[in-house]
Amino acid sequence: MAASRQLSWLEAVFDMAGLTAPQLQQVRRWGPACFTAACAWLLLLIVGEAPIARATGLALAVMGVTAGMRPMGLVASVAGGLTLTLSPVFWSQAAGAVTQPGSIVIAAILAAIALFCASFLLKRHELALGLVIVLFAVIFWSQISAAQSLRLTVLVVAWLLFLLIDMLMLTNPRPGFKPPQSPQRWHLAGIPLLFAVGTLNDPLVTLFVAAILLALLLSYARLPGWYWLGILAIAVAGAYLLAQTYLLAESPLLLPLGWRDAQRWLALGEYPLAQFGWVGIALACVGVARLARWYPPLGTVTIIAFASYMLFGLTYIGSHRDVLLLPLIIIQVIWMTYAVNSISQWVNKSLKNKAGLWIHLVSALYLALPALLLLEVLQI
């Protein structure tokens, strides 16, 4: 009864705000992601002392990951987004920055205006997505004047994973929940666009090609031949840049047979362990197992993306390995969040609460992980 009264009170507030049913649905969908991004932005700006442009870029990456995890629960997705923000390797991206020109902030505001106009006034979501991606890339390359920007790579990977997750959950929903639907146009437009921008900036994004091709095949979308050729052309160009950067350089950065060294497996295993401890490893194992059970296409695609970066980690012998392998941590957080959602669903079903109260209560325990990470950041 209390839950129904709360829902009625929220609906009354939204009615007073004049929101229609579709607008209310969009608020429920994007509200947690926007809230988490705002919290991440404030943490990076105040605690991390990051410049505004860098804090904004990282917060937008957190927003993309949180939006992808939104179907896994409101509270769990917020906790997952904050966990990613405060993970040691992600948090390290806020430090050691120089002050960037104010023009990049102005340009970011213009990009936001372009997003609003295209998405809400013209009702063209795919156009809005394309404008923001292109404008953000142009801003980074014109103001920072550096290729292979790690922050831009993180941003592209975060939103690429969002598109893949959102598309696969739409086209391959959990059996018995809702019928499958065709992918949206902005899914199909955003994936190659993000893939192209990410590959041109950092050839490591090419490692997503197997996951992207499989996701498109599992979406059962009827795509023209030129679309597949475009994806393959981006992949070939990325493979060439990847070879030029890591294999054909004066000092090669890849050891092709490094995966046969047991010590490298142990060293790579310590990487996710250093981020979230054994609890994170356990949650990730539960999450990927349940994801493969209830959302097999999504589970398979994330496993392939994870394996691609894992193979790179086993063969890479250069510096900044932790930062280059950040997509592994993003995928791990997604698995951890789904594990929390699965556990909360099981507890709620066992206790037979029709209002879903235990789903929120159990998911709230997940907030302890970002809280502990924050204490480490504050060195308390």
| CA proximity to 307, closest of 363, 259, 250 | 259
Choose the weakest-confidence range: 13-17, 54-58, 152-156, 266-270.
Answer: 13-17
Terminal CA-to-CA distance of the chain, rounded, Å?
41
Residues 6+ apart with CB under 8 A from 129: 186, 189, 190, 193
| CA proximity to 194, closest of 233, 155, 140, 168 | 155
Residues 6+ apart with CB under 8 A from 286: 339, 342, 343
| CA proximity to 189, closest of 125, 136, 113 | 125
**Cα gap 316→320, rounded to integer Å:** 10
Percent of the chain beyond pLDDT 70?
Answer: 80
Contact 91, 377 (CB under 8 A): yes
**Cα gap 329→84, rounded to integer Å:** 8
**Cα gap 30→231, rounded to integer Å:** 29
**Cα gap 359→344, rounded to integer Å:** 5
Query: Taking residues 60-69, what's their average pLDDT?
Result: 92
| CA proximity to 370, closest of 175, 83, 25, 75 | 83
Whether 145 has a pLDDT exceeding 50, the answer reads no
- Region label for 277, one of left (φ > 0), alpha (ψ between -120 and 50) or beta (otherwise): left
Which tens digit of pLDDT belongs to each residue from 2-15? 344 444 444 554 55
Residue ranges of the domains in the chain?
Answer: 261-380
Query: Taking residues 349-375, what's their average pLDDT?
Result: 86
Which tens digit of pLDDT belongs to each residue from 25-51? 777 888 899 999 999 999 999 998 888
Report the range out of 122-131, 274-283, 314-323 with the highest average pLDDT.
Answer: 274-283
Selected residue with higher pLDDT from 143 and 243: 243
Q: State the pTM of this model.
A: 0.86
Going by pLDDT thresholds of 50, 70 and 90, the confidence category of residue 19 is low
Whether 164 has a pLDDT exceeding 80, the answer reads yes
Contact 55, 94 (CB under 8 A): yes
* Phi, psi values for residue 17, rounded to 5°: -75, -10
Selected residue with higher pLDDT from 256 and 328: 328
Going by pLDDT thresholds of 50, 70 and 90, the confidence category of residue 133 is low
**Cα gap 227→192, rounded to integer Å:** 9
The tokens describing 338, both together, are 């789904």
| CA proximity to 192, closest of 144, 112, 129, 284 | 129
Contact 19, 27 (CB under 8 A): yes
C-alpha distance from residue 235 to each of 14, 74, 144, 206, 342 (Å): 46, 35, 25, 6, 35
